[in-house]
Amino acid sequence: MRKLPLFIHVDPLNPVVLGKTCRYCPDCDLLIVHQDELEAQLKALSAERDPSLIGNDYMVLGTVERQPWREGMKQPKGIEEMLEHLHDFKEVRTVKYQPAGWYRDDEPVTPPGQTGQSATEKKQAARRKRRRRRRR
């Protein structure tokens, strides 16, 4: 786990440098950022600065060196100065997972949280399914 200053471009033309704790694999030279955590921090930041930015598209461009980031927190710097200290990513990858289990051939597989159901609705659906199985 490492805390790194991420340089994020939020549409339209709103650069943000956000300190975020990320996972880092030195063997793969891979930085792992959870989308839901990043979006929650961006939402909180946008809510206090400019609420119209909430929900806009964004792209994480890279990391910024620590010293200029800390100086920028005390006295804001221009975009040109921050770009001088930007280390952009070589490649961006998106990882999606499928929970383990048995699936029917005709059943669409969607990761948790993307079905549109709340946690209580999911629990209720699971209970109904168990009851139907017991009746058979």
Q: Examine residue 102 and state whether it is found in any structural domain, yes or no.
A: no
What pLDDT score was predicted for residue 121? 67
Assess if residue 80 is contained within a domain: yes
Q: What is the pLDDT of residue 64?
A: 93
pLDDT at 76: 83
Count up the domains in the chain and report the number.
1
> Could you tell me if residue 131 is inside a domain?
no
Mean pLDDT in consecutive groups of 10 residues from the start of the chain, 136 residues: 90 87 89 90 87 87 91 85 90 81 73 54 71 68
- 75 assigned to some structural domain: yes
Q: What is the pLDDT of residue 118?
A: 57
List the Cα angle 60/40/88 in 5-degree steps. Answer: 10
Q: According to the model, what pLDDT value does residue 120 have?
A: 66
42 found inside a domain: yes
**Strand blocks (E) in the chain:** 2-10, 14-25, 30-32, 58-64, 86-88
Number of H helices, E strands in the chain: 4, 5
Give the range of the structural domain holding residue 75, as residue numbers without chain letter. Answer: 2-88
